[in-house]
Amino acid sequence: MRYSRSRYFHGFTARIAPAGRPVHYFLAIVALSMLVGCANTQAMDAQEIAAHAAAAKALAAQSAAIAATHFTACSMVPGPSSPFEAPSQIATKPGYLELSASVTDKSGGPISGLRESDFVPYSSAMPLPIAYFHEDVAAPVTVGLLVDTSGSMEPKLPTVRSALVDFLTKSDPCDELFMFAFTWRPYLLQPLTTDHAAVASHLMALRAFGQTSLYDAIFDGLQILQKARYARKALLVITDGMDNTSTTTLKQVTALARQQDVPIYVIGIGKPFTGQRLVSSYGDPEWVDADALHQLANVAGGQAFIVQSTGNEFADAVVSVDRRLGRGYTIGVITPISGTPPVPPNAKSSPAPPASESAVGLIVTNRPGAVVTTHVIGPPHP
């Protein structure tokens, strides 16, 4: 694929954004660079010039629309850092831990309105008494936005921007966010913040070029989440291809996500390929590595979406992720082994606890077909 100089502009803006420069200052330069590329008639024919001019006009219009979008500021004063939601008189009891649970129907929609009596926590196949219960209707969360900006993403970025800005406007004003763009390597465009307008402005600075460092971006995102304000945290990853430049492996990324208990929501744009298709389709921009995306999503209770286009399918996938974030149930239990709660691998709860099960788990009664995803939150390590 032939690249104009303007495609590399994103790398420049990505490097200066963390230094505190105002990104809106560069949006006009992004559009201008596109128009300058249009003048390079030696590299492009008339049709390409017209396409770049139209893209510059669309970018300017989208920039103006986002600049006019109202974002509500967070008014909450952060409290002391604690991994638990329960009051201290409960959370400080020996052996206490919390189960952060999401309950969804077969289509992935969250099930709300469940009562404490609908849940049965267990350990070693024995039921545990519930010491704390709370339904989290719209609890603040920390979310990392990881956006693929490789060359094949160029025609898809306008729809990605639009859907993510809509996601930002509908999220809790106190949700904590950060954003990476990734090409040959990840670029941290926005560190942790509750300033959603700042995140939106960085979305407008995205430019497509280069290759795909998917695993490196997720690994770096997981590192950022270690500094998150909230116990509920997740990554939202958007890509249209397969990793081809990372130094981190899929095994390393999934191991870290499992260790940190972070759900990863992945939206893959394109046609899914698995198994033998992987070799024959390598490098084809129309295919996404469905196997890898599902592995990333399944490791800690996330979800993978493979959409054929960036139209309604993509927007619907973003909405589906938004419906799951910050919604669920927090259930506190006292484990029978005082002070040394087991830390289980994260997995969707089975219909009934196996007799040999030694990990803490959770089932929901009277809800046939419900899918329960449980994350165990233990005390902080000394």
SS (H, E, C) the chain: CCCCHHHHHHHHHHHHHHHCCCCHHHHHHHHHHHHHHHCCCCCCCHHHHHHHHHHHHHHHHHHHHHHCCCCCCCCCCCCCCCCCCCCHHHHCCCCEEEEEEEEECCCCCECCCCCHHHEEEEECCEECCEEEEEEECCCCCEEEEEEECCHHHHHHHHHHHHHHHHHHHHCCCCCEEEEEEECCCEEEEEEEECCHHHHHHHHHCCCCCCCCCHHHHHHHHHHHHCCCCCCCEEEEEEECCCCCCCCCCHHHHHHHHHHHCCCEEEEEECEEECCCHHHHCCCCCCEEEHHHHHHHHHCCCCEEEEECCCCHHHHHHHHHHHHHCCCEEEEEEECCCCCCCCCCCCCECCCCCCCCCCCEEEEECCCCCCEEEEEEECCCCC
Quick check: pTM over 0.75?
no
Residues near 239 by Cβ (< 8 Å), separated by ≥ 6? 148, 212, 214, 266, 267, 268, 269, 288, 293
The reported pLDDT for the residue numbered 61 is 61
Whether pLDDT at 15 is above 60: no
* Side chain identity at residue 308, one-letter code: Q
The reported pLDDT for the residue numbered 283 is 52
User: 332: closest CA among 91, 141, 139?
Assistant: 91
Whether pLDDT at 335 is above 50: yes
Count of CB atoms within 10 A of residue 298's CB? 18
**Structure tokens belonging to residue 18:** 């963390």
Q: Which of the given ranges, 42-46, 201-205, 343-347, has the highest pLDDT on average? A: 201-205
Percent of the chain with pLDDT over 90: 36
**Structure tokens belonging to residue 294:** 């599902």
What are the residues facing 303 on neighbouring strands? 265
5-68+140-324, what's its fold? Rossmann fold (3.40.50)
Q: Which of 28-42, 84-98, 235-249, 263-277 has the lowest mean pLDDT?
A: 28-42
How far apart CA 364 and CA 358 sit, in angstroms, is: 19
Task: Tell me the domain boundaries of the chain.
Answer: 5-68+140-324, 88-137+327-377
The band of 62, judged by pLDDT with boundaries at 50, 70 and 90, is low
**Structure tokens belonging to residue 250:** 């899929």
Strands 233-239 and 142-148: parallel
The band of 106, judged by pLDDT with boundaries at 50, 70 and 90, is confident
Whether pLDDT at 24 is above 60: no
pLDDT, tens only, 259-275: 888 889 999 999 887 65
pLDDT, tens only, 188-232: 999 999 999 999 999 988 999 999 999 999 999 999 999 998 878
